Amino acid sequence: MRQYRFLDRRSFLLALVALCGCGKNEAPSVAKEAGSLPQAGPRAAGARQLSAGAEQGTNVPRVAVLVFGPRDSGGAGGPSSAVTLFRNRMAELGYLEGKTVVLEERYADGDSQRLTQLAREVVDGRPDVIVAIAAAATAAVHQATTTIPIVMAHAGNPVGSGLVQSLAHPGGNVTGTTSMVPDLGVKQVDILREMLPRLTKLAVLANPTNAATVPLLENVRDGARRFGVSLVVAEVAREEDFSRAFDQIRRARPDALLVMMEPFIGANQARLLDFVATNRLAASYDVGRELVRAGGLVSYGPVLQNHYALVADYVDRILKGASPGDLPVQQPTQFALVINLKTAKALGLAIPQSLLVRADEVIR
């Protein structure tokens, strides 16, 4: 045994197994002890999960989750809570992390260049399924692979952006859920008009690089024409665009502001809320329950939290052999109207009772 004096405990135990010629029923117990030695960091944790499946003689499926926003973001769908909801649903479906599935998370922190890099890294890792949260993440990973199944979460305009052939028959390697619904923009303008009967000029803050912006903005224009409201559109696609966009809105002196929430704008929500409060704007957010709780006036849009369980269901079906091209893209079925009465009072607005009784949440 002197020859093993300078080996670490793991190597010693593994060598001892080989030297003693342990039977197939004895080796696993020693290997398990060797595998129980501490490893550091998330990569080590992933290695433990994979080795556990290898010891059991199973092929543990790997699911990569790519998020455009930051891990701890609370805006526009809350990527951090999104992953938690996805994990919870996977557990409900019977998946045990480290034993029957390995989940790997990547966050781009709102950086488009980093998102592209992470998408390549995810694809190079050859996971069994990739979950992409938001349209930008889906587009980045789809550009990197047309073979690995991709399940998108609430991606806007997946048909128009070329991610799928149609909602009913995606046809390629992408499926999942979309946030797009007909007449959402018209409904948002109508709600603001109910709050502000004298609404004649509406500013819109939007990211033109988001695939969902064009159809949603056109729908907002339809609503504005229907109700005789003029539009001022301010665009932001980079950090430096916010100052210019805010100046444009200030000069326009609109009666209200409609914010088309998406990951990039959501990553700058503190800056946005400060601008809205400083300029005493009646602001509406198409996906913004958390922003209304943080001081925004109103939000109306799909309940994105529901999407993550649906995404997990699709991951489950794909792991069991389904083709993503045969799984229809699912549209929102539940919407939420949230109103902050504290903010309304600070702005001198009296919210009609007809809106309050329809609200899903009223912050007093």
Sign of CA dihedral 15, 20, 22, 28: negative
Per-residue pLDDT band for 58 (boundaries 50, 70, 90) equals low
Distance CA 351, CA 116 (A): 44
With CA atoms as reference, report the closest residue to 244 among 221, 222, 285, 275.
275
Q: What is the mean pLDDT of residues 312-317?
A: 98
The pTM for the full model equals 0.77
More confident call, 110 vs 157: 157
**CB contact set of 61 (below 8 Å; sequence gap of 6+):** 100, 101, 102, 128, 129, 319
The candidate with the shortest Cα–Cα distance to 132, out of 168, 106, 165, 97, is 106
Q: How far apart are the first and last CA of the chain?
A: 75
Q: How far apart are CA 156 and CA 92, in angstroms?
A: 27
Residue 345 in contact with residue 295, Cβ under 8 Å?
A: no
Out of 10-24, 26-40, 101-115, 148-162, least confident range? 26-40
Q: Is the alpha carbon torsion for 24, 30, 33, 35 positive or negative? A: negative
Lowest mean pLDDT among 50-54, 268-272, 356-360: 50-54
Sign of CA dihedral 132, 134, 139, 140: negative
Q: Angle CA(118)–CA(124)–CA(128) in degrees, nearest 5?
A: 100
Instruction: Give residue-wise pLDDT tens across range 213-229.
Output: 999 999 999 999 999 99
CA 15 → CA 7, 24, 33, 34, 164, distances in Å?
A: 9, 15, 13, 11, 52
State both tokens at 245: 């966009």
Structural domains of the chain in order of their starting residue, each with its CATH number: 61-179+304-326 (3.40.50.2300), 184-303+335-363 (3.40.50.2300)
Closest CA to 315 of 97, 84, 95, 118: 95
Across the range 87-91, mean pLDDT stands at 96
Work out the number of other CB atoms within 10 angstroms of the CB of residue 96: 11
Confidence of residue 288 (pLDDT cuts 50, 70, 90): confident
pLDDT band at 175 (very low <50, low <70, confident <90, very high): very high
**Which three-class secondary structure state does DSSP give residue 98?**
coil
Q: Which one of 15-29, 278-292, 329-343 scores highest in mean pLDDT?
A: 329-343
154/137 Cα distance (integer angstroms): 11
Confidence (pLDDT) at 72: 58
Side-chain-side CA neighbours of residue 87 (13 Å): 15
Q: Is the pLDDT of residue 34 over 50?
A: no
